[in-house]
Amino acid sequence: MSRLVVISNRVAVPKARGVAGAQGGLAGALNSALKRNGGLWFGWSGNEVEEFTGDVSIQRGEGVTTATIDLAAQDVEEYYNGYANSTLWPLFHYRIDLTEYEREFGRGYERVNEHFADSVRPLIEPDDLVWVHDYHLLPLGGRLRSRGIQNRIGFFLHIPWPPTRLFVSLPYHERMVKAMLEYDLIGFQTREWLESFLHYCQKELGATVDEKTGRITCGERTVHARAYPIGIDYDHVIEQAGTGEARQAAQRLLASTRRRTAMLGVDRLDYSKGLPERIDGISRFFDQHPQHVRDLVFIQIAPPSREDVSSYQKIRTQLEQKTGQINGARSEVDLVPIRYVNKGHSLAELCGFYRAAKIGLVTPLRDGMNLVAKEYIAAQDPEDPGVLILSRFAGAALQMPEAVLVNPYSPDELSHAIKQALDMPREERKERWDILIKTVRDDNIQRWTENFTGDLASLPVTRETQTDEQRAH
């Protein structure tokens, strides 16, 4: 197939700010795609400079070529901390109460998307497939078209797309979506997010929408939008789960629990993950079942993220307070009911922790997909698997109905789910796991990549062939 050019905010170079954590996510997905297909990964290095220069740094290693640019401190504040993470992220996760609408943020976001377009344009060859990722670069398709790029360009959104009534609160929302319609193929994690986008295009832009095929016609532009649920790199996770590092991690956890049942949560420290609500549910469980304080321990691994954004500082403080209150009220000299770990771990270590934990607690308030849920299932012992408790508001819930699905806003429902998981017989656990592991194994990152890039490559080219003169200008 054609060479693949991936463009994203984050590039996995050493010390890059914002690179996905050890548990997978966007970085793992893009590395897998590029190793399989060859090509280039372009984005921000994570470094700040006094003034933007547009200089591109090329690096090659482990089968992947990366091209990165440095951003000015003002760009980082307005584009990354500002518009991307203080405006779009909360709005797209239905948290309009946390959404900040600042004109300077919007200007910075537009400016950095222009920087990306100017810097990557000379690196794109005529036959390349271009694949743009995530909410940081929503309008990049329009910026590339304005610079003469006529290649097939796809876009994938890794987070939810909000309902129209929320999205229209965004200033200049029509301009944003019209720039997105310059892509040839737009991908979403689930049918729900796709339908929200199609509804907006039809109701707000007056576009003609074919809901069965995802074909959108707006003026002279025809675009396709479809759902592509992302998966994990299953073979890599299984490999990591079989390492000595994973076995040691599992033994460490089991030895430290002293025969208590381990229940595990692994999340970035982010308000969309529902961590305070999770702690409330666990508190309710201990209130209703005080006898289990001595035989259940909850371990929350929550690496810090976006520490420059005030709402993330607040969520950390809130989580520490709630955890401290429960431990203060229910601890004994020889045990604490909740362990809160504010640091990251390698994928191998996480796989060991997953395997040792008899309950996996994945309860985001809203999530595009959630790969931790799939990693937890992949790492289980087939003969004695644990139970996955999963928020019905995570995209993964649509693929994993055999998990114990919960409303993360309800402490009572979460308490009931924990009791159900503790009491679940091995035969039922195996029956549920047998179905879940097939989904996780088959709907993997390789299939996701093949489905998206295959669909993008098959779309007809509706523009004239790009000339060298056009490229120069």
Task: Please pick, among 115, 133, 136, 158, the residue that the annotation labels catalytic.
Answer: 158
CB 442 within 8 Å of CB 26: no
Pairing of strands 261-266, 359-362: parallel
In the three-class reduction of DSSP (H, G, I as helix; E, B as strand; rest coil), residue 176 is classed as helix
Share of the chain residues as helix, strand and coil, in percent rounded to the nearest 5: 50, 20, 30
Task: Please pick, among 134, 367, 443, 455, the residue that the annotation labels catalytic.
Answer: 367
CB 35 within 8 Å of CB 63: yes
Q: Check if 199 is active-site.
A: no
Q: How far apart are the C-alpha atoms of 205 and 218, rounded to whole Å?
A: 7
The separation between the first and the last C-alpha atoms of the chain, rounded to the nearest angstrom, is 28
Q: Check if 367 is active-site.
A: yes
Among 158, 354, 135, 112, which Cα is nearest to 238's? Answer: 354
CB 337 within 8 Å of CB 325: no
Q: How far apart are the C-alpha atoms of 335 and 318, rounded to whole Å?
A: 22
Q: How far apart are the C-alpha atoms of 4 and 58, rounded to whole Å?
A: 16
Active centre residues (catalytic): 158, 367
